[in-house]
Amino acid sequence: MKKALIAVGLLSLSSFAFSNDGPAWDYTGATGPDNWATLSPEYGACAGSNQSPINLTGFIDAELPPIAFHYEAGSSEIVNNGHTIQINTLPGSTISVDGIEFELKQFHFHVPSENQIHGKSYPMEAHLVHADKNGNLAVVAVMVTEGKESKVLAKAWAEMPKVGEKIALSSDILPLEILPSTRDYYRFNGSLTTPPCSEGVRWLVMKHPVSASKAQIGQFLQVIHHHNNRPVQPVNARPVLE
């Protein structure tokens, strides 16, 4: 049973990492978000009631404990899979949430942001994807404003891959550099934001944004060729904690 749970978890992680397995999907047209749930039975969860992203509003004061970040390792490679730019990380970086240790697997970007805060959309959003030993996922989301150049993106974008390309990183990109210095956050229960849209994902959205330059955001769009944000989904009865 334990092996089965791990297998399911790893499948979810590969899907969140934008695996190209399964039926083709996109962000526009017949294979766009409005139709994801009908593209394949395995994407049926895209029509679920606890989907991400959302507009974060109507907060409930929960006095959330600080997230324990233990980011030490760097990154191994940068990938362009046609849906996003993703940086795969080396083993050893973790967070602790609910007394559970989640290991950072990768981080990637969306333009514009997928989540909104009080109805506000941001020029970019970073997702740092973590998994526990059973494959359960926790995502730290960081909003990105347009302004001062990002040092971490300057290093990453220096080796920007083309669609379908994977490049070994020559300079160490530290995930800790993506986070804001003040790490208060919102929390809600959601899903993967791409097919198969599996639910049960812990979402931890930083309250404070970081910045990137207009040129850096533009460079991302030049290689992805389109916006890659799923529209916000109904919150339904879910509490959004702060």
Active-site residue set: 83
Q: With contact defined as beta carbons under 8 Å apart, do 156 and 31 qualify?
A: no
- The whole-angstrom separation of Cα 5 and Cα 188 is 23
Least Cα distance to 76 among 168, 155, 160 occurs for 168
Least Cα distance to 174 among 76, 68, 103, 67 occurs for 76
Q: Which residues pair with 185 in a beta bridge?
A: 206
- The whole-angstrom separation of Cα 103 and Cα 106 is 9
Structure tokens at 125: 């959003």
- Using a 10 angstrom Cβ sphere, with 0-12 exposed, 13-18 middle and 19 or more buried, the burial of residue 185 is buried
Greatest distance between any 2 Cα atoms in the chain = 49
- The whole-angstrom separation of Cα 210 and Cα 188 is 21
C-alpha angle 7-11-13 in degrees, rounded to nearest 5: 115
Q: With contact defined as beta carbons under 8 Å apart, do 225 and 28 qualify?
A: no
Q: With contact defined as beta carbons under 8 Å apart, do 164 and 80 qualify?
A: yes
Q: With contact defined as beta carbons under 8 Å apart, do 142 and 210 qualify?
A: yes
- The whole-angstrom separation of Cα 97 and Cα 204 is 10
